[in-house]
Structure 1
Amino acid sequence: MVMFDKLLKPVARAMAFSICLAAVAGCSPIYRNHGYVPTPEELAQLKVGVDNRDSVIEAVGAPSSTGVLKDSGYYYVASRIRHYGAKEPQVVSRELVAISFDQRGVVRNIERYGLEDGIVVPLERRVTSSSVEDKTFIRQLLGNIGTFNPSTVVN
């Protein structure tokens, strides 16, 4: 029995140490990077009033997003998000580089924004929702029975 106790104590200590080590490692933060922002050196290659849309793409790469209007700019967005245990993910840093163009497609301005500037850049994706949410095929089929009007087919 004494021999069994001598073997059990080191094993118990090793198991306790392993459990503590796993708990500490499980709570370490995990960082994820999303997007791309050109470096200041790459942006220094661009000349305001000289470069156009095509030369911007050649120099710094394709933008993350473009404006909706024809003459709007290119937007490069990068985010760094920290996941820590069971907590909600938190945005640690976010940078946005906006390159605007004039009506001729020539670079008008280059601006850089970030969280450290006090400007929060919310990223949203607007998606048109469909009207068929939560409806099965049979419900859609049976729902059209009362709305059918034969006079619209004849005309």
Structure 2
Amino acid sequence: MTSRFGKWALSLVLVAALGACSPTFRSHGYVPPEDELQTLSVGVDSRATVDDVVGAPSASGLLSGGDYYYVRTRIKEVGFRRPEVIERQVLAISFDQSDTIANIERFSLADGNIVPLTRRVTDSTVVGRGFLRQLLGNFGNIDPSQLFN
């Protein structure tokens, strides 16, 4: 009986281990299909037409009235390995000053370069100073005449 249970447990562990090694895929984002884009004409259609035909983008330019960007990413995960981006499509629709389509471009992983994302943070003047040093450093900066105004 113990032998039968041991074989069953071992086979269950092997099935679970093999299942953990099988790849899983995740998809994020949306890029409109080519047949919808064929209905748009560069220099003719407007931003409102793009909104009606293709839909609102997941990302647009930094300022209101900026260009439209549709991004779709497919990610492969295998076990405990780092997830790998296997497909990325970017559709960029740019507009001119009159909100008419100026250009429609498609990009993929083969076209792109890796862009490192960085944070821009204002430097603080309190770097390297402890709490007590900051507190005691303010005693000389107090003007008693401004306390009563």
Moved more, 58-67 or 142-151: 142-151
Structure 2: segments with no counterpart, 5+ residues? none
- Aligned twin of 1:146: 137
- Aligned twin of 2:80: 86
TM-score (norm 1): 0.75
Give the alignment's Cα RMSD to 1 decimal. Answer: 3.0
Render the CA deviation track for 1:54-109: whole Å, top value 9, x for unaligned: 22112111112222356641111111111111111110100000101111110011
Q: Residue 104 of structure 1: SS of its match in structure 2?
A: coil
Structure 1: segments with no counterpart, 5+ residues? 1-6
Q: 1:15 to 1:65 in 2, by over 3 A?
A: same
How many equivalent residue pairs? 142
Render the CA deviation track for 1:97-152: whole Å, top value 9, x for unaligned: 0101111110011111112xx212546655554768xx9xx93x872441362349
* Residues 95 and 112, structure 1, Cα contact 8 Å, conserved in 2: yes
Q: 1:90 to 1:125 in 2, by over 3 A?
A: same
What is the distance in 1 between the residues matched to 2:71 and 2:136? 49
- 1:97 paired to 2:91: yes
Q: 1:152 to 1:120 in 2, by over 3 A?
A: farther
- Aligned twin of 1:120: 112
Moved more, 65-74 or 94-103: 65-74
Deviation of 1:45 (Å):
1.9
Q: Residue 31 of structure 2: SS of its match in structure 1?
A: coil
- Aligned twin of 1:3: none
- Aligned twin of 2:11: 17
* Residues 94 and 121, structure 1, Cα contact 8 Å, conserved in 2: no
- The sequence identity of aligned pairs, in percent, is 37
- 1:38 paired to 2:32: yes
- Aligned twin of 1:76: 70
Could you tell me which amino acid in structure 1 is paired with residue 142 of structure 2? P
